[in-house]
Amino acid sequence: MKLNSKILDKLMNSEIIKSVYPMVERIETDVEDDGDEIHPYYTIVIEIFLNDDTINSNNMYQKGMDPHYLVDFYMKDLLKLVSISTRDIEQVYINVFDTERDPIYPS
């Protein structure tokens, strides 16, 4: 199976993620591959939109929003469901936005 944004969006907006990160309103992804039909490498942009207006760039880790752990642990495990491993991923970029859609990570 070839990974695309529609598949990854479904996985990342599952109840698995929402149960661990209740401050996440939604996650949008942009998946690009290198064009290799047999063994593609993926570049993934993850945009995390928060629903908690008390979270900002200074306190997001204290409030339980660790975007790197979300990607490194949960996303990579969910990708196993569609037969994508970490060796298939070339790069992941993470952006986190507050309730006003202003970027808080990277800041």
The number of distinct structural domains making up the chain is: 1
What's the pLDDT tens digit per position in 65-87? 999 999 999 999 999 999 999 89
What's the pLDDT tens digit per position in 41-54? 999 999 999 999 99
What's the pLDDT tens digit per position in 18-42? 999 999 999 999 999 999 988 899 9
Confidence check: pLDDT of 1 > 80: no
3-state secondary structure of 60: coil
The pLDDT score that the predictor gives to residue 64 is: 97
Q: Which CATH number goes with the domain that contains 84?
A: 3.30.70
Hey, what long-range contacts does 59-62 have (CB within 8 A, 24 or more apart)?
60/96, 60/104, 60/105
What is the extent of the structural domain holding 77?
5-105
**CA–CA separation, 102 vs 59, rounded Å?**
15
Backbone φ and ψ of 4, nearest 5°: -145, 175
CB contact at 8 A, 21 and 50: no
**CA–CA separation, 54 vs 50, rounded Å?**
10
**CA–CA separation, 97 vs 106, rounded Å?**
9
pTM of the model: 0.93
